[in-house]
Chains A and B, each alone.
Chain A
Amino acid sequence: MEELKVVDTRGVKIWRSLRRDKGAMLGASFILLVVLMAACANLAPFGPAEMDWDVSLDADAPTVLPPSAKHWLGTDRTTYDVFSRLLHGARLSLLTGLAAVGLALLVGVPLGALSGYAGGRVDGLIMRCVDVMLAFPSIVLAIAIATLLDQRTVTTVIVAVGVVNVPTIARQVRASVLQVKTQEFVLAAQAMGLGPVRILARHVLPNCLAPIIVLSTLGVGYAILSAAGLNFLGLGPEPTVAEWGVMLTDGYSYVLQDQQWVVIPPGAAIAITVLGFNLVGDGLRKALDPRAR
């Protein structure tokens, strides 16, 4: 009970600090907006890849329809409804971002913890691997992994972006573990003869949570951005899938035809989502680490 209470007051403190942070609140409302978009996707007037069958086929009729009462944000050249695809895209973007970071955490946290706690050769080996991966510009590595997987699906993109984020997380976790591991309560636990796994899970990692949370939040935004980039390059799912990056793949030709309504919404949606996670991540950093203020 004692412990719970401590955590509670700390949480409340952080929450208050966040509430006072205008930037973080703005970011949170952006994220909320995107979550609502994702939630409302089923209410969208059209399906994610549903053509409009009522368009005119006359020679002079436009192929790309500007915004109207029927199509709030117009259509693209396949007569998909941009607004509906925007809503459906919110799901995929959130899913991609969260899953990629989840994957990175799943691999990165144990690696980092092992490296930091075990030290010695294990640490050296893992950290050399991390160095090698960090020597790659992230987008280049992501492209290579996506090509390696050779399946143009959402999963490919999630794995590519997730793997690229592993070294950053592993390195951060290792640094935190190194800090925590010399503290008295850990030494005490070791003296009591507890096993390393138990010590790591029960005592060390819970005290490393703050930087991991910050990094993960920022990471979600970054992952969404990278995923959009991969999709834009054509390494993601097929073009009928409603995903913001995919929607921008042919952006260039729409731009040249002055059909901005196809291009502006998905890009703005990506920007707002990523900005949201960045602002909240920043806010969390300030709230969790008083020195950063």
Chain B
Amino acid sequence: MRYVAWIVLACLSFGLGSCGGDDENAPLLKVVLHHGNNSRPYMPIPEEVAKQIKGALAPIGVEVEIKKVEWAAYLDLVKTGQHQMALLGWSADIPDPDNFLYVLLHKNNARPGSANNISFYTSDEVSERLSEARRITDPAQRNKLYREAQEIIFDDVPMVPLVYTERILAHRSDFGPLRIEPVTHPVLRRITQPKDGAIVYLRGHDSKKLDPGDVTDGESSKVVEQIFDQLLRFKPGSVEVEPSLATRWTSSDDRKTWVFTIREGVKFHDGTKLDGAAVANAFERQRDPEHPHHFPDGVWSYYQDLFGFIDKVEVGANPMEVVFRCNEPTPPFFLKMLAAFNTSIPSPAALTKFGKDFRRNPVGTGAFTFVNWKSGEEIKLERNDGYWDGPAGLKTVYFRVSENPTIRSTRLMADEQADLIDNIDPQTIKDLAAHGEVTLLREPGLNFGYLAFNTQKPPFDDPRVRRAIALAISKPRIVKFAYQGLALPATTPVPPTITGHHEGIKSRERNADKARALLKEALGK
């Protein structure tokens, strides 16, 4: 009978214990924090960042409910403004402050449904400066405008920049030379050792599709960049561009018309000759919904977001010339945009031949030719011996998939079917660096992760509440625990790798008492 008594007693205390409320620690505010379910370069483990934020806000009286949402649904949710707080990040398409500030915080990008400005931040002071910096070309003046914008943004806190991440690659040391490029993925064409070798690029996920105009994810663009060329390309290790498929270019004085001369003697992998028509086709098919190569089930948002200022692209006076006609002066970084992977030039003949299946049968002018694709397992590329810039050193490239990052590192170190890996497990960095046959490459990245507030909805329509949250968050803790130390605390939305980053801005130091006081004041409690 003693047991029964014990059990009854225990059950009672169990019941009482769970009922006991503590009024002093009752939250001042309850909010929901949304995050996506997949790993991005700027935020490998969003869940851990969310947990750190929740833990940091609890002491100041903010109770956070974390909601993890499937990636596509998540983007829909934040772009339509259904969130209160959300975790996201940005990787530069173009190495210019505009690509961060205009895209993420200009009021033009705050239209619910298509917003990249998921803070729905509509400050006129900031928007005017950003628009002005788009119009002018003088670097010093642009820089000044961007610095002013960053100061206002810091004070207004539409978002809390959390971290700048590093880009990390590791490869077997017998392959080389290899470097981390600031904007693009590693350029495998430049590997010369071993001569005629085969390389296995082991990564976390398979590509989705290889039609350059229709690609939005890194795993796809990584492969696309090896198969295709663009009009211009980035110089090795630089954010500056040099001629590629275009050899010369001129612009009108109002920067509304550009003429590019196309390189002679370049052939696509299927033997088709490269000319102005092929180049115009690459742009027109993205712009024009009626174009026969504008496959209706494609995702063309990338072009729409970036190249909206282009009216038409057409063949010029001679067939090896192409003309860009724009409805406003092109932005100062227009040439850099023409080195982005989505401006790759595909073979028009192959587009016609394969139709929408081009996405699984890509044909370009690049240093490597597509051979075959086993879904979820392997993409095989062979060297293009007729490459216009001289054939590559490697003979074969395999892109293979191993989802677990720890296993990717293990396989690289054991030389088991892995010569090059990315998205590296932070816990294995030390081992990789110490390994005699592995080279570890680390460079500051062109991206940052942030916490966005929906500034159109209470409670975050009040800048004091946003400031209180920013005061409570400990970025060094986030770096340590959610990024395993492989990141830097962020201060502004423009990473230090970009000219225009405001180095005078320093993050707020965590101060829970001040944050709580500020919050109480804002809420009138």
Where the two chains meet, the residues of A that have a C-beta atom closer than 8 Å to any C-beta of B are: 28, 32, 35-36, 38-39, 41-42, 49-51, 57, 59, 61, 63, 77-79, 91, 94, 152, 238-240, 253, 256-257
- Chain A residue numbers with a CB within 8 Å of B195 are none
Q: Would A41 and B17 count as touching, CB distance under 8 A?
A: yes
- Contacts A32-B3, A257-B427 given; 20 further ones with Cβ under 8 A? A28-B3, A38-B17, A39-B10, A39-B13, A39-B17, A41-B17, A50-B55, A57-B476, A57-B477, A63-B480, A78-B48, A78-B55, A79-B55, A91-B14, A152-B68, A238-B67, A239-B66, A240-B66, A253-B406, A253-B427
Of A78, A91, A256, the contact of B52 (CB 8 Å cutoff): A78
- Chain A residue numbers with a CB within 8 Å of B56 are 51
Q: Would A35 and B14 count as touching, CB distance under 8 A?
A: yes
Given A42-B20, A238-B68, A253-B406, do A77 and B10 touch, yes or no (CB 8 Å)? no
24 CB contacts below 8 A, A to B, read A32-B7, A32-B10, A35-B7, A35-B11, A38-B10, A39-B13, A42-B17, A49-B51, A50-B58, A51-B52, A77-B48, A78-B52, A78-B481, A79-B481, A91-B17, A91-B18, A152-B68, A238-B68, A239-B51, A240-B51, A240-B54, A240-B66, A256-B406, A257-B427
| CB of B377 closer than 8 Å to a CB of A | no
| CB of B76 closer than 8 Å to a CB of A | no
Given A78-B48, A256-B406, do A59 and B485 touch, yes or no (CB 8 Å)? yes
Interface residues on B, range: 20 to 34
In the complex formed, the residue of B with least CB distance to A41 is B17
| CB of B65 closer than 8 Å to a CB of A | yes
List the 7 closest A-B pairs by CB distance, nearest first: A51-B55, A39-B13, A35-B10, A238-B66, A78-B51, A42-B17, A39-B14
- The total of Cβ contacts below 8 Å across the A-B interface reads 68
- Chain B residue numbers with a CB within 8 Å of A256 are 406, 427
In the complex formed, the residue of A with least CB distance to B67 is A238
- Interface residues of chain B: helix, strand, loop or mixed (majority): helix
Considering the chains assembled together, what is the distance between the CA atoms of A29 and B6 in angstroms?
A: 11
- Chain A residue numbers with a CB within 8 Å of B206 are none
Considering the chains assembled together, what is the distance between the CA atoms of A124 and B427 in angstroms?
A: 59
Nearest Cβ on chain B to A153's Cβ, whole angstroms: 10
Interface centre among B3, B20, B52, B476 (most CB of A within 10 A): B3
Considering the chains assembled together, what is the distance between the CA atoms of A238 and B484 in angstroms?
A: 22
| CB of B275 closer than 8 Å to a CB of A | no
| CB of B284 closer than 8 Å to a CB of A | no
Nearest Cβ on chain A to B137's Cβ, whole angstroms: 42
Nearest Cβ on chain A to B38's Cβ, whole angstroms: 13
| CB of B214 closer than 8 Å to a CB of A | no
Considering the chains assembled together, what is the distance between the CA atoms of A79 and B485 in angstroms?
A: 15
In the complex formed, the residue of A with least CB distance to B485 is A59
Considering the chains assembled together, what is the distance between the CA atoms of A256 and B407 in angstroms?
A: 10
Q: Would A32 and B55 count as touching, CB distance under 8 A?
A: no
Given A49-B55, A59-B485, do A239 and B47 touch, yes or no (CB 8 Å)? yes
In the complex formed, the residue of B with least CB distance to A56 is B480
Nearest Cβ on chain B to A47's Cβ, whole angstroms: 8
- Chain A residue numbers with a CB within 8 Å of B58 are 49-50
Nearest Cβ on chain A to B523's Cβ, whole angstroms: 23
Nearest Cβ on chain B to A12's Cβ, whole angstroms: 10
- Chain A residue numbers with a CB within 8 Å of B51 are 49, 78, 239-240
In the complex formed, the residue of A with least CB distance to B17 is A42
- Chain A residue numbers with a CB within 8 Å of B13 are 39
Q: Would A57 and B480 count as touching, CB distance under 8 A?
A: yes
- Chain B residue numbers with a CB within 8 Å of A39 are 10-11, 13-14, 17
In the complex formed, the residue of B with least CB distance to A79 is B481
Chain B, range 347-367, C-beta contacts under 8 Å to A: none
- Chain A residue numbers with a CB within 8 Å of B11 are 35, 39
Chain B, range 56-72, C-beta contacts under 8 Å to A: 56, 58, 65-68
- Chain B residue numbers with a CB within 8 Å of A38 are 10, 14, 17
Chain B, range 2-46, C-beta contacts under 8 Å to A: 3, 6-7, 10-11, 13-14, 17-18, 20
- Chain A residue numbers with a CB within 8 Å of B427 are 253, 256-257
Nearest Cβ on chain A to B116's Cβ, whole angstroms: 27
In the complex formed, the residue of A with least CB distance to B480 is A57
Considering the chains assembled together, what is the distance between the CA atoms of A77 and B51 in angstroms?
A: 10
Considering the chains assembled together, what is the distance between the CA atoms of A94 and B11 in angstroms?
A: 11
Given A38-B14, A63-B480, do A32 and B485 touch, yes or no (CB 8 Å)? no
Considering the chains assembled together, what is the distance between the CA atoms of A150 and B14 in angstroms?
A: 29
- Chain B residue numbers with a CB within 8 Å of A28 are 3
In the complex formed, the residue of B with least CB distance to A94 is B14
Considering the chains assembled together, what is the distance between the CA atoms of A78 and B474 in angstroms?
A: 13
In the complex formed, the residue of A with least CB distance to B20 is A42
- Chain B residue numbers with a CB within 8 Å of A42 are 17, 20
- Chain A residue numbers with a CB within 8 Å of B54 are 49, 240
- Chain A residue numbers with a CB within 8 Å of B484 are 63
Q: Would A77 and B481 count as touching, CB distance under 8 A?
A: yes
